[in-house]
């Protein structure tokens, strides 16, 4: 595994570096494969990054957008990751509607929606039920409990290894989430982590030995590149 950790001075520098990395990955993917596939993260940290991407002059018809996880709420709900990304980025650029692949959340049953999104992904990537396709980039955040996507400590989603998508759970509120093996199939996984409250979790995630089910971000060990972009508040105490 090709793991890199970069500690940036502040959020602004983190966003600038994130944009630089994503533009490089995008250019390479389109040159080599004719399209760029990216899974978005929710939360507040990536929002300015999405706004920065929206200001770029890009071949939008060659870019496909997915989500690594989604709260089980309608797409116009204030808590929706899709809504945040649309407002910050997707509604501001000329990207074809067919290139946006949101998580279904209106079936009334998270398991049904999970299966539907999985089938959509398999159809898009033309892969069998035994294969794990590779997204070009999976963007991730990390909570102060070390969860990532909707893979929360000590929840059943952490044990799902044979599917792309499963149902996550936080405080009895269902979510739809990538499984960790699907994340690990990506060509590049980029964590964006900011804030001093993340330091204790980062120390556990980066420890040589630890409990993956207590600190789920430890499970993210992709076959491709793993890049941790941290602001100084989050990463200032990590050993060099």
pLDDT at res. 1: 59
- Name the percent of the chain lying above pLDDT 70: 99
Residue 9 — left, alpha, or beta (φ > 0 → left; ψ -120 to 50 → alpha)? alpha
- Rounded-to-integer distance, Cα 61 and Cα 44, Å: 27
**Whether the Cβ atoms of residue 91 and residue 160 lie closer than 8 Å to each other:** no
The answer to whether the CB of 181 falls within 8 A of the CB of 132 is: yes
Is the pTM above the cut of 0.85?
yes
Give the separation between CA 59 and CA 181, rounded to whole angstroms: 30
With a CB cutoff of 8 Å and minimum separation 6, the contacts of 57 are none
Around Cβ 44, how many Cβ atoms within 10 Å? 11
Looking at residue 161, its pLDDT comes to: 97
State the pLDDT at residue 237: 80
* Residues sharing a CB contact under 8 Å with residue 37, sequence separation 6 or more, in sequence order: 29, 64, 66, 135, 136, 137
- Give, for all 240 residues of the chain, the pLDDT tens digit: 589 999 999 999 999 999 999 999 999 999 999 999 999 999 899 999 999 999 999 999 999 999 999 999 999 999 999 999 999 999 999 999 999 999 999 999 999 999 999 999 999 999 998 999 999 999 999 999 999 999 999 999 999 999 999 999 998 899 999 999 999 999 999 999 999 999 999 999 999 999 999 999 999 999 999 999 999 999 988 875
End-to-end Cα, the chain, rounded Å: 19
Neighbours of 104 (CB within 10 A): 18
């Amino acid at each position: 595994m090709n793991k890199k950790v970069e500690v940036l001075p502040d959020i602004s520098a983190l966003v600038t570096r994130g944009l630089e990395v994503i533009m490089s990955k995008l250019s390479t993917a389109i040159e080599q494969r004719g399209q760029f596939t990216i899974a978005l993260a929710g939360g507040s940290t990536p929002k300015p990054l999405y706004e920065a991407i929206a200001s770029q002059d890009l071949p939008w018809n060659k870019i496909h957008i997915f989500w690594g996880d989604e709260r089980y709420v309608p797409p116009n709900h204030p808590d929706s990751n899709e809504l945040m990304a649309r407002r910050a980025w997707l509604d501001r650029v000329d990207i074809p509607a067919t290139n946006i692949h949101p998580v279904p959340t209106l079936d009334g049953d998270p398991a049904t929606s999970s299966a539907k999104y999985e089938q959509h992904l398999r159809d898009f990537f033309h892969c069998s039920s035994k294969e794990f396709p590779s997204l070009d980039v999976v963007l991730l955040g990390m909570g102060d409990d070390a969860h990532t996507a909707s893979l929360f400590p000590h929840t059943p989603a952490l044990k799902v290894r044979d599917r792309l998508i499963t149902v996550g759970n936080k405080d009895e509120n269902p979510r739809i989430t990538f499984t960790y093996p699907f994340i690990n199939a990506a060509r590049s996984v980029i964590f964006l982590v900011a804030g001093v409250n993340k330091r204790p979790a980062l120390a556990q995630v980066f420890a040589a030995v630890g409990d993956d089910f207590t600190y789920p971000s430890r499970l993210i060990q992709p076959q491709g590149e793993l890049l941790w972009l941290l602001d100084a508040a989050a990463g200032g105490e990590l050993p060099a």
